[in-house]
Structure 1
Amino acid sequence: MRDEVDDLSEAWAHERPDLDLGPVEIFSRLSRLSRHLDLARRDAFSGSGIESWEFDVLAALRRAGDPYELSPGRLLRETLVTSGTMTNRVDRLASRGLVERLPDPADRRGVLVRLTPDGKATVDSAFEALLAAEREFLDGLSGDQQSQLTDLLRRLLVPFSS
């Protein structure tokens, strides 16, 4: 079984036989898979009428549990965007009726962002479609192989986790 990265690696090996191409063989595949996953995510979310960035915000609120609300600061940490970007995103989601802003009872100057019932239905539908699309990516791997891949990817990601 061969893929396009095999061709890329062979070409580099011919030109630079002095280099260990192991990292290229791994990360070029991860990069290509990431692009395919982005396209699959876009397709999965389009059925629910949302974009990836909208899913990220709605999913953070949904994962928070009932009453599905977070402070803007917590949303920033969950989605890894700037405060200006988050304000814009919440504004757009609120205008579509997917979230609402409420006064924070613990802080008179603060607000909470809460998922509306429409927002909850939208994110649930989008998440189900995403899981179906992601399952297709993994169809060629056994359960044990999927577990091994999960463990290996976790090892690579842990140093970047805060």
Structure 2
Amino acid sequence: MDLDVLSTPGHLISLAARGFTRLSEARLKPLGFGVGHLPVLVALRDGQASTQRDLARFAKIEQPPMAQMLARMERDGLIERRPDPADGRSSRITLTAQAEKQLPDAITALLKGNGEVLQGFSDDEVAQLVDMLTRLIANLDRVAGADTSAKPSINDVG
């Protein structure tokens, strides 16, 4: 089967992701949040992470971009850092009262946007789409992990 490259799942998912990002950013900006903040905010709210390392792992991003995002979030009054009593070299990160107050509105705005763009999809179709995307992400993580762990050998040259 010879697919047009612009009709491949990868390209279409990329277009959909960019569309979701634009929509979400427009709805979150008035609340003082960005799309990239959401995994951090939710992890902190739910107690799933409280250190930069844990947050980077949870959000599936590298440490340097996480450090930059946390610095901006601290500057914008969304998070606070306190010394970790168990490890003086580390900080515990918590949500500010401002972020806790605005997070429910942000989640509501995102869920509303999801509902609007999924108009015309049945509940079963939405569940199937979520299942397929979850499996796709797991496959991408597995393949990307295999690619980064594969080191070139002398036999790979030329």
TM-score band, normalised by shorter chain: 0.7 to 0.9
Name the residue aligned to 2:57. 77
CA distance 1:54–1:149, shift in 2 (3 Å): closer
AA matched with 1:62 = R
Q: CA deviation at 1:22?
A: 7.6
Name the residue aligned to 1:14. none
CA distance 1:118–1:128, shift in 2 (3 Å): same
CA distance in 2, matches of 1:100, 1:146: 36
Name the residue aligned to 1:118. 98
- Moved runs in structure 1, 4+ residues, more than 6 A? none
Counterpart check, 1:137 vs 2:117: yes
CA distance in 1, matches of 2:71, 2:8: 42
Q: TM-score, normalised by structure 2?
A: 0.76
Instruction: Name the count of aligned residue pairs.
Output: 141
Q: CA deviation at 1:131?
A: 0.7
Name the residue aligned to 2:13. 30
Give the secondary structure class of the aligned counterpart of 1:97. coil
Gaps of 5+ in 2: 143-158
Counterpart check, 1:107 vs 2:90: no
**Same amino acid, percent of matched pairs:** 29
Q: Which of structures 1 and 2 has the larger relative contact order (alpha carbons within 8 angstroms, sep 6+)? A: 1
Counterpart check, 1:157 vs 2:140: no
Gaps of 5+ in 1: 1-18
Q: Quick check: 1:48–1:122 contact (8 Å CA) kept in 2?
A: yes
Q: TM-score, normalised by structure 1?
A: 0.74
